[in-house]
Amino acid sequence: MSAADDSGGPAHPLLLVRGLKKHFPARRHLFAPREMVQAVDGVSFSLMRGTTLGVVGESGCGKSTTARLLLHLIKPDAGDIVFDGERVGDLQGLSVRELRLQMQMVFQDSYASLNPRATVGDIIAFGPRTAKGLAPRAARERAESLLDQVGLRPALFARRYPHELSGGQRQRVNIARALASEPRLLILDEAVSALDKSVEAQILNLLADLRRDLALTYLFISHDLNVVVMYLGHIVEAGEVAAIYHRPHHPYTRALMQAMPSMDPDRRTEASPLSGDPPNPINPPSGCRFRTRCAFAEAVCARLAPTLDAIGDDHEVACHMMVPGSGHSLADKMAVADD
């Protein structure tokens, strides 16, 4: 998952996550035993400067919880988050505030994340005015510059309210607001999933241009480029987009690829590639957490949890059938099943 540092600086990650865990107490009856939801359970990855990492998975797999842990909005139960060489867990007070200026989030619901009583110009200017200490006029000029940068004419949009904008325009405002603090990392939590395909393409092109022009680093929740695939709090496959999209090795990744909508009749499937619902995160299956929905599970899958092992350059899979020397190739098994 690593890549060269586009800024030309030292080749160490901008963001390093090691063994991250977060369990939440579940609701219980008065005399019921205490139970915990295992939202994130041992997640590790790294993100180099100027690159993009996608975190993909079904709803409830722990993607958004991971994003909130990175921003220090909730505290992890275990593990380390290191941002630009500094452990996030050691930060307090003003240092946490500074961290959040450097790591900004763009949310899925573009309307709910904007103040309906404030104009677009005031929403964007709020950050430069409060975090950067700019005078009102300078903050307003900064907001107009950011509107222009995200493709919205300030003369037309600065005085409008969120309800007067389309979904795509509101998401551009959210992006401008996130950029107002001059962050180095943008976390995009399902930022384009609520948009139609034509608008989604426009926003993705905008983000690509901004990453190039501003030397930004992105972490996409439920999108592609460099990819991490999560299932029930665990990473099951990680690697470059070409490797994962063209030949996914984990059966869960393969099912996600097959579930993508397509107008190609050769790719359309009548039945869902995944059967059943994800297991209860309070009491996940033993061993491999995907085994209860996997057509290729064997006895070892119930006994032992697979580790995330390298199967090639920048490609890792957590699956017993992919362990070197096991005598099995799960990708070959899946190809035979397709035939």
Span 222-250, pLDDT tens digits: 755 567 889 888 999 999 888 888 888 89
Query: Taking residues 27-41, what's their average pLDDT?
Result: 78
pLDDT for 270-327, tens place per residue?
555 677 778 888 888 999 999 999 888 889 999 999 999 888 878 899 998 875 544 4
Six-digit token string for 212: 């190039």
Domain locations in the chain as residue ranges: 1-25+36-76+224-339, 92-215
pLDDT value at position 274? Answer: 72
**Poorest-confidence range of 41-45, 92-96, 121-125, 212-216?**
92-96
pLDDT band at 257, cuts 50/70/90? confident
Render pLDDT for 138-163 as a digit per residue (tens, 0 to 9): 999 999 999 999 999 999 999 999 99
pLDDT of residue 245: 83
pLDDT: which is higher, 22 or 6: 22
* pLDDT at position 52 over 60: yes
Torsion of CA 126, 128, 134, 137, to 10 degrees: -60
Question: Looking at residues 91-111, what average pLDDT do you find?
Answer: 84
All residues at 6 or more sequence positions from 331 whose CB lies less than 8 Å from its CB, including other chains? 247, 248, 249, 322
Mention the CATH class of domain 92-215: alpha beta
Quote the CA–CA distance of 45 and 131 in Å, as a whole number: 30
**pLDDT confidence of residue 195:** 80
User: Residue 96 CB: number of other CB atoms within 10 A?
Assistant: 13
The DSSP code for 101 is H
The half-sphere exposure of 62 on its side-chain side, counting CA atoms within 13 A, is 30
Q: Are strands 15-25 and 36-47 parallel, antiparallel or unpaired?
A: antiparallel
pLDDT of residue 144: 95
Q: Which has the minimum average pLDDT: 37-41, 155-159, 192-196?
A: 192-196
* pLDDT computed for residue 185 by the predictor: 96
